[in-house]
């Protein structure tokens, strides 16, 4: 092999190592950013309670089955489609809470929730996660 071919071969190996190192660094940075994003999205933004009539409880999803519900807060709100009921959408990750909600559907309830920055698709459709439910007796 000539000296020129050896120089070319060594140069190609050096460039290959540098490209491999760059790709691995970029993958590592992307992985760390992804983990950081999921971690920050799990932080609680706020927590509180809401009361109203429980109008819907479902377990839905094609890939990720999540527990979702709707609470009628009373009154009306206006939107581009006209005047609609004041309905609040929520999610829950707790099967026991979901079963309690099913039993209380159609009744007035008080829901305790935590709002996250952003819900992941496997957690729920909304950013509001109910962790406790109490029936309201008149």
pTM of the shown model: 0.70
| b (16+ CB within 10 A) / e for 33-53 | eeeeeeeeeeeeeeeeeeebb
Residues 57 and 116 in one domain: yes
What pLDDT is attached to residue 84? 67
Residues 28 and 48 in one domain: no
Residues 114 and 67 in one domain: yes
* Residues of the chain under the 50 pLDDT cut: none
Which residue range is the domain that position 125 belongs to?
44-135
The residues, any chain, with a CB within 8 Å of residue 92's CB and separated by 6 or more, are 67, 69, 98, 101, 124, 129, 130, 131
Q: What is the pLDDT of residues 62-85, one digit of tens each?
A: 888 889 999 988 776 666 776 667
Could you tell me if 69 and 56 are in contact, meaning their C-beta atoms sit under 8 angstroms apart? yes
How far, in Å, CA of 39 to CA of 27, rounded?
18
Residues 24 and 53 in one domain: no
Residues 36 and 50 in one domain: no
What pLDDT is attached to residue 1? 66
């Amino acid at each position: 092999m000539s000296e020129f071919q050896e120089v070319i071969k060594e140069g190609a190996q050096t460039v290959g190592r540098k490209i491999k190192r760059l790709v691995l660094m970029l993958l590592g940075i992307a992985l760390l950013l992804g983990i950081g994003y999921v971690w920050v999205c799990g932080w609680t933004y706020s927590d509180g309670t809401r009361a109203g009539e429980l109008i819907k409880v479902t377990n839905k999803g094609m890939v990720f089955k999540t527990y979702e519900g709707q609470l009628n807060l009373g009154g009306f709100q206006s939107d581009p489609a006209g005047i609609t009921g004041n309905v609040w959408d929520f999610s829950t990750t707790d099967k026991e809470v979901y079963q309690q909600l099913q039993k209380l559907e159609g009744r007035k309830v008080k829901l305790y929730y935590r709002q996250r920055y952003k819900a992941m698709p496997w957690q729920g459709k909304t950013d509001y996660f109910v962790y406790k439910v109490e029936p309201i007796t008149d």
